[in-house]
């Protein structure tokens, strides 16, 4: 007799993150270990959800793009032990470049869906100050020698310039205007107290600054002006269009999330901030990796039986402004549509690679809480080496008045 199996609904219970820092010797986390950032996030998840018995956690997955040094050694397992999870709780690591945390969430959610797990913890970390992207890598020379991959695919800034080439109507002026709005929306979200509740204070230390406490993101530049953006250098190409002002910086930070089967969340008295509807990943030409969210979103929508018009809130990772504009342009969404990145995005707060997927989910969950008229939202991001990833979520606070 075959066992009866039914796919279970998966909910996002909680999502938190460290403040994001600037990578480098003067950044707030210059003297902080990457795995300690993850530990702080995990401990905060337990503190915020006291009705979750740690022994009920069935699996832990932590992502990092550069899995070396203090970002190596099976982070899901070691970080869980360091955070005080019972030794009975297993863990593993994930690498899908920028979509690491997003993939940790979808992998674990799939396990919940088929009944392998009840409650899981996903996370992501990137300490780009200690471990620049690609540190220690040894790409197979056949990738380039046999022209399987364009050499520019290995340089993210050049892939963004290639997007400008492919879509010349997505001008530098539009990219700069979009970037200014990201800074402005982030400043407003901070002023309205919408970002701070999901930030985990982190003790810091520096050789010259001494001890400190990180409570807000380091990268935002609320003083940004269009004139200032227009004067920045284009490091990836002479007379190019990609600058430090219309792209995310190099950053350090960690994120974490608790997910559970919906009936288990109810049993344990846990919240449901978002309900997973569908997800999809897709591949594109690596040299224009920024267009990846377009096919991944089309796939995720098709799997859910939805259209882009059903989506009421969008969280699109801002690796580069042109990449977001390419996504919006494809789906006929205005550059300044209020549904998109309503609290700003990575151009302002930063993009610590593998951690960013859960940051998007935290922002979307906050948006769901404040917008009960919205039923569906999505989180999406481009992924290095030519991919896109999209997750569609349903708002558990939906009041039925948005239809």
Helix and strand element counts for the chain (H, E):
12, 12
Residue with tokens 């990943």: 281
382 is catalytic: yes
Check: CB of residue 297 under 8 Å from CB of residue 378: yes
What phi and psi values does residue 395 have, to the nearest 5 degrees? Answer: -85, 115
Rounded Cα gap, residues 101 and 95, in angstroms:
9
98, 127, 131, 164: which is the annotated catalytic residue? 98
330 is catalytic: no
Catalytic residue status for 98? yes
Residues recorded for the chain: 403
**Contact (CB, 8 A) for 290 and 301:** no
Question: Cα torsion at 142, 146, 148, 154 (round to 10°)?
Answer: 60
Catalytic residue among 127, 131, 164, 382: 382
- Active-site residues, by number, are 98, 351, 382
């Amino acid at each position: 007799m075959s066992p009866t199996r039914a796919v279970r609904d998966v909910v996002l219970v909680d999502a938190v993150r460290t403040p994001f820092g600037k990578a480098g010797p003067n950044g707030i986390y210059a003297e902080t270990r990457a795995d300690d950032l993850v530990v702080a996030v995990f401990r905060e998840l337990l503190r915020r959800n006291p009705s979750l018995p740690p022994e009920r956690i069935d699996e832990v997955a932590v992502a990092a793009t550069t899995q070396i040094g203090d970002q190596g050694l099976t982070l899901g397992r070691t970080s869980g032990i360091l955070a005080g999870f019972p030794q009975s709780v297993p863990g593993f690591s994930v690498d899908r470049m920028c979509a690491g945390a997003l993939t940790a969430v979808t992998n674990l959610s799939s396990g919940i869906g088929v009944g392998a797990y009840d409650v899981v913890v996903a996370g992501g970390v990137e300490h780009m100050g200690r471990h620049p992207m690609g540190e220690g890598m040894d790409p197979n020379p056949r990738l380039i020698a046999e022209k399987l991959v364009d050499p520019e695919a290995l340089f993210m800034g050049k892939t963004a310039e290639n997007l400008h080439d492919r879509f010349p109507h997505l001008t530098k002026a539009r990219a700069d205007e979009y970037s200014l709005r990201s800074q402005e929306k982030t400043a407003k979200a901070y002023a309205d107290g919408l970002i701070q509740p999901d930030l985990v204070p982190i003790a810091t230390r520096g050789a010259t600054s001494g001890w400190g406490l990180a409570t807000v993101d380091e990268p935002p530049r609320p003083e940004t002006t269009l004139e200032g953006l227009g004067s920045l250098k284009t490091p990836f190409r002479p007379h190019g269009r990609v600058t430090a002002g219309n792209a995310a910086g190099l950053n350090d930070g960690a994120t974490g999330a608790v997910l559970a089967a919906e009936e288990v969340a109810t049993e344990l008295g846990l919240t449901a901030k978002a309900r997973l509807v569908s997800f999809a990943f897709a591949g594109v030409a690596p040299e224009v990796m920024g267009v990846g969210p377009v096919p991944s979103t089309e796939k995720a929508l098709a799997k859910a039986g939805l259209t882009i018009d059903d989506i009421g809130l969008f969280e699109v990772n801002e690796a580069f402004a042109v990449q977001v504009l390419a996504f919006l342009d494809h789906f006929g969404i205005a550059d300044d549509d209020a549904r998109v990145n309503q609290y700003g995005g990575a151009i302002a707060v930063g993009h610590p690679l593998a951690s960013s997927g859960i940051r998007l989910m935290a922002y979307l969950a906050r948006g769901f809480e404040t917008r009960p008229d919205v039923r569906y939202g999505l989180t999406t991001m481009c992924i290095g080496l030519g991919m896109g990833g999209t997750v569609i979520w349903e708002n558990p606070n939906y009041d039925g008045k948005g239809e």
